[in-house]
Structure 1
């Protein structure tokens, strides 16, 4: 059966943690009813909303368990507020500011996703397309024409949306490692099959592979390239989650370019532990936190502080820190001697192929280099000239959002801010307010959706919505 183009005010491409964050922000603002009433669709390639890939990682979170459950709060009872009595919710809440296993976080986000699906199902104007993937979007008179494919049947359908949110996640492209040079050789050429990426290492399968590889070596050596949270998380996982592997002194080397910053709740606690490597530009002027965005937290924080001998913590002799220089022969030696080299060089947005009205591909700013952001300070997706595309927003890992002004953060921060709490609150709220402002100035979906299309969607909905 051929489907006519379905029309919505808003289409969210990707229903993982980033994709549902805007809906959770709207829930917090008591605006979710407004979003769903005007016509909203979510396209997600997996069987359900919420979890994404977060539950695949065999490590702990870098934020406290209490920050996960905060998204359930609302002014009125909803499907989401009912989850506050769930056993898993109560366990995460009890952790407060302590880390929790990402497996539990993934399970919780699956529960949240199921509740959101039930809420969407109760609004005739809105829909969820699970097991579907957005293939491309083309600018049209009514907004954007998006082609999505059914991953089960292979059939395609078209959706017209006045506004888009791209939350399609991120990956670690091999090109980034091929471009990294050490001693005149690319990282991939120099390390060959010894090279792994951090996203692979941090999974259960990845850690098992490393354990099998290093288990019989008397003095295993691992080099980690990168100074991010992912790099420190890899070091922590290798030291604490491998079975049958005995690292000796300097068995793991963390090779980083920028100084490793430490998060503190306030200036006083930093000074009390003798940590003085900061200025007022490194303090969030709203929260008073030192290195609020740039600093390591929880497991990674403790490990880096042990390696650096900060705050009287016992030394972790198995981890060596090596700051890379302009001409670093020592770095090449470390790489060549390592049994495994782990690249933790960050993620890039998967994005979505976009075309203008004439069908000409639109190059995004994020496609021009590994440090280029996908979005601006209002979460609007940027083209190659740095101009915001009309009615297209981006959110999630590697989107490149940098908080400023009332959102807080340290003035010295030059990276990108990633975190569920931020997405579900301040960042999500930016998008919600912009989407609603646009929607209120234009016809609603119900003004131009043919009745036949509504009937088709109701038939589709009965077979696609998770009711668990």
Structure 2
């Protein structure tokens, strides 16, 4: 069901064809849900001219999963005909050669981009799915039993009306979010300090990092990284590798909770001498230690080195680790002093969702409730607004939104953040979203969406510038 040039009507809109959105489409195809999802019309909207991976390939870091985890996202009998040509792809073979080690995210992104193109071409041809490239979602209006999705493309504005909206437009790092988080702990960053997003710095190569930090190093300024996750330790390594010979001597890491390490099993953790809580730190599904919250692979190596000898990787750059919550009081005071003396503070404290304007049809903005690590949403990604009202039919589960720990997703009890990850996007996380979307499309409507409602209220059309069975299955 589609409409005219000003208004389009369909059952479901997928906003964002990055790792989360594509993960759901892969899962819908291999699970057999795609025909039903597309029956009333399915439109995929993405701002890129080449949808498929978002900005995944721009990061100069390794993945926090081994290569086989990404291959497992493509390895399903239902997808064999779609993906068989990928066995001739250089990206596929690069990942396959690193099946049991962590590949570069740029290689992962290239493989997923090739796979995504094949999936998008297939569902457009076989199921009548519409793919709107280079199209930006500017506003979402909740109007009774439907959502109005306003988009811009090539300087023109149009509206999509749908019953179900899956919205994963990526994440952003808001400096105010960091300032508020530190203030809650009784900590502050001086106005003179620069707050820099790790999301931006992790996209820089060594030359770009040296150019950016040259003024700070010239005046012996202090650099402090805030956070304790994979990105924080990847940031430490990138800074040390790029800046040691430019004069960097030390970096401070301020982290709220204890640094946790990931191990495949309790036996592996014990052999490594790692102390863990057998009740709180073990995933009941996989048996892994700190499955969601622990440092993995390259970040794990950097973290162990930092904890044991206060050095970053194999460099001579020192790192001081200060825990601010439930740690020694002296560490809190050291953290407070380090922040007060910092020239540059690097934010590695997670993401907030990148969202268009959200409004109710009757007036008033929609403010989504946030919790640690993402949005306060149910297992299918339906968020709550600031009044505690569930926005049924709206689903967010990607970067900046995430899903809470759930028995089907698997995680350790001690983890209180939100769950992300390419493998989860392609499997359990998107599976709950698919089930919810299909259930909503099957429900009788309070007022059926009709193409007769063609007038577009309160808007003017205007121009604006604008695999395979060769490898054993693995789970992340």
Query: Smaller-chain TM-score range?
Result: 0.7 to 0.9
Post-superposition CA distance 1:106-153 (Å, at most 9, x none): 222221232132123214642011111111122336621211111xx2
Post-superposition CA distance 1:57-94 (Å, at most 9, x none): 11111111222222222333443343244221122122
The runs of at least 4 aligned residues of structure 1 exceeding 6 Å deviation read 182-185, 313-317, 447-450
Q: Distance in 2 between matches of 1:316 and 1:363?
A: 45
Q: Distance in 2 between matches of 1:84 and 1:231?
A: 35
Residue 154 (structure 1) aligned with residue 155 (structure 2): yes
Residue 376 (structure 1) aligned with residue 371 (structure 2): no
Match of residue 437, structure 1, among 439, 443, 453: 439
Q: How many pairs were matched up?
A: 439
SS at match of 2:434: helix
| Structure 2 equivalent of residue 204 of structure 1 | 204
Q: In 2, are the aligned partners of 1:16 and 1:50 still within 8 Å (CA)?
A: yes
> Within 5 A, what are the aligned runs for 1:358-373?
358-366=362-370, 373=375
Match of residue 99, structure 2, among 82, 86, 96: 96
Is the alpha carbon distance of 1:419 and 1:330 closer, same or farther for their aligned partners in structure 2, counting shifts above 3 Å? Answer: same
Q: Distance in 1 between matches of 2:159 and 2:165?
A: 14
Structure 2-normalised TM-score?
0.83
| Structure 2 equivalent of residue 259 of structure 1 | 258
SS at match of 1:319: strand
5+ residue gaps, structure 2, are 455-476
Match of residue 419, structure 2, among 417, 422, 428: 417
Q: Distance in 2 between matches of 1:359 and 1:78?
A: 48
Post-superposition CA distance 1:248-273 (Å, at most 9, x none): 4xx12211110000011111111111
| Structure 2 equivalent of residue 394 of structure 1 | 396
> Within 5 A, what are the aligned runs for 1:190-201?
190-191=192-193, 193=194, 195-201=195-201
Residue 120 (structure 1) aligned with residue 123 (structure 2): yes
Q: In 2, are the aligned partners of 1:225 and 1:344 still within 8 Å (CA)?
A: yes
Is the alpha carbon distance of 1:52 and 1:190 closer, same or farther for their aligned partners in structure 2, counting shifts above 3 Å? Answer: same
SS at match of 2:355: coil
Q: Distance in 1 between matches of 2:241 and 2:206?
A: 14
Deviation at 1:411, TM superposition (A): 1.5
Post-superposition CA distance 1:164-192 (Å, at most 9, x none): 0010111011212443349988425141x
SS at match of 2:136: strand
More helix by share: 1
| Structure 1 equivalent of residue 289 of structure 2 | 290
Q: Distance in 2 between matches of 1:158 and 1:182?
A: 41
Q: In 2, are the aligned partners of 1:207 and 1:242 still within 8 Å (CA)?
A: no
SS at match of 2:44: strand
Post-superposition CA distance 1:353-411 (Å, at most 9, x none): 33334233222113xx7666242223112212333212111121121311311322112
Post-superposition CA distance 1:433-454 (Å, at most 9, x none): 22122223459xxx9679x9xx
SS at match of 1:282: coil
| Structure 2 equivalent of residue 11 of structure 1 | 13
Q: Distance in 2 between matches of 1:108 and 1:17?
A: 12
Give the aligned CA root-mean-square deviation in angstroms: 3.2
